[in-house]
Amino acid sequence: MIPILSRDGRAAVEDVARNRTLLAFDFDGTLAPIVPDRASAAMRDSTRALLRTAALLYPCAVVSGRPRRDVVARTEGIPLVAIVGNHGAEPGFGPVDRRIAGRVATWRSAVAARIAAVPGVDLEDKRLSLALHYRGARSRPAALHAILAAVADLEGARIFAGDAVVNVVPVEAPTKGDAMRFLCERLGTRVAAYVGDDTTDEEAFQSDVVHVAIHVGPSGASAARFSLPMQDAVDDLLRLLVAIRARQEGLGERWEGLVRAAGG
């Protein structure tokens, strides 16, 4: 992968700015650091200020595995064009397939009974998906093994792991890749950039509308062409996006001041 903040990566950032590309971000591990208690996850003040500024210059969206209402609360005051939750299944516009919620409700009862005796596993019901968290387990390998056994025979389930979590989503539910296509169609743009850190983001990285895919942190195998070394480098990316767009628009000192106020 090409470091997006390198000389070679900067050409891609210049192109993103020139075309007023849709900017989409995952939340946990991308806009906000991963924390032991998911309820306390939050953007740094600098990230919030930079994202707010970027959203005045570009159409910006957040596409998260969290329920949409959760992300709405954590991004309050930022003029985003869209917030999508539940790994792409909860876009905030248009109807949600009730069959998806019904299937998840059925799964919840079965899975809850199967993991009740597994210490350190937390079942999160997000209505359109389930998440089984095991960050607090004394033995993560043992917890993961028990979780996978508990969900293995769920009919019509798409099961994928994240950072100390196993996600269970109906196969017919829209993915993050679908969400990116829907957003581009809705906004009338043909290209997007997507920044994410996890397995769930690979579907967005592979979307035909995502021309600049940026993986945050150690990657291993990823479909993303570009990379950021760690989560806090997202601020550097946002700062660069704002500076280049402001320069292209000839916005001058006012925008430079906003960037400095955000820690630039």
Cβ atoms of 172 and 158 closer than 8 Å: no
Query: Total domain count for the chain?
Result: 2
Phi first, then psi, for residue 19 (nearest 5°) are -95, 5
Distance CA 46, CA 49 (A): 5
CATH of the domain at 152: 3.30.70.1020
User: Could you count the other beta carbons within 10 Å of the beta carbon of residue 199?
Assistant: 15
Distance CA 202, CA 209 (A): 13
Residues 6+ away with beta carbon under 8 Å from 187: 22, 59, 81, 82
- 187 and 250 both lie in a single domain: yes
pLDDT at residue 177, as a whole number:
95
Distance CA 247, CA 243 (A): 6
The last residue of one of the domains, among 170, 204, 231, is 170
pLDDT at residue 157, as a whole number:
92
Burial (Cβ within 10 Å: 0-12, 13-18, ≥19) of residue 260? exposed
- 183 and 164 both lie in a single domain: no
- 67 and 116 both lie in a single domain: no
Residues 167, 138, 215: CA angle, nearest 5 degrees: 40
Q: What is the DSSP letter of 208?
A: T
Cβ atoms of 197 and 29 closer than 8 Å: yes
- 154 and 223 both lie in a single domain: no
pLDDT at residue 2, as a whole number:
92
Instruction: Label the pairing between strands 226-228 and 210-216.
Output: parallel
pLDDT at residue 200, as a whole number:
86
Cβ atoms of 197 and 216 closer than 8 Å: yes
The last residue of one of the domains, among 155, 170, 185, is 170
Query: Which residue segment(s) compose the domain that 29 sits in?
Result: 2-94+175-261
* pTM score, whole prediction: 0.89
pLDDT in tens, the chain (264 residues): 899 999 999 999 998 988 879 999 999 999 999 998 889 999 999 999 999 999 999 999 999 999 999 999 999 999 999 999 999 999 877 667 788 888 999 999 899 999 988 899 999 999 999 999 999 898 999 999 999 999 999 999 999 988 889 999 999 999 999 999 999 999 888 889 999 998 889 999 999 999 999 999 886 788 999 999 999 999 999 999 999 888 877 766 565 555 555 555
3-state secondary structure of 167: strand
CATH of the domain at 184: 3.40.50.1000
- 120 and 186 both lie in a single domain: no
Distances (CA, A) of 86 to 126, 137, 176: 7, 24, 9
Cβ atoms of 92 and 68 closer than 8 Å: yes
3-state secondary structure of 145: helix
The last residue of one of the domains, among 110, 145, 170, is 170
Write down the residue that tokens 């329920």 correspond to: 67
